[in-house]
Amino acid sequence: MGPPKLTPAASVKTRPAARSRTFAIGGDLPIHRLGYGAMQLTGPGVWGEPADRAQAIPFLRRAVGLGINLIDTAD
């Protein structure tokens, strides 16, 4: 069983994060209500480096390209 295939569910043209509106963290940092939980990008046991770093980096860049500006690393 290898690493999971990471496939974005939306097109870059749809900008779903922008539709979620924003709120302020710390009173002055606007964040979209739609974020990305990066827990599944980590290694075994939900800790450490990504199982497939070469696939994880473009996936995170795609999330940012879709307007995601909150990535929950739980670190």
Predicted confidence pLDDT, tens digits, the chain (75 residues): 555 565 555 554 556 677 778 889 888 888 888 888 888 888 777 778 888 889 889 989 998 988 899 898 876
pTM over 0.85: no
Give one word for 63, left, alpha or beta, with left for phi > 0 and alpha for psi -120 to 50.
alpha
Q: Which residues contact 43 (CB under 8 A, 6 or more apart)?
A: 49, 50, 51
H or E stretch including 53? helix 53-65
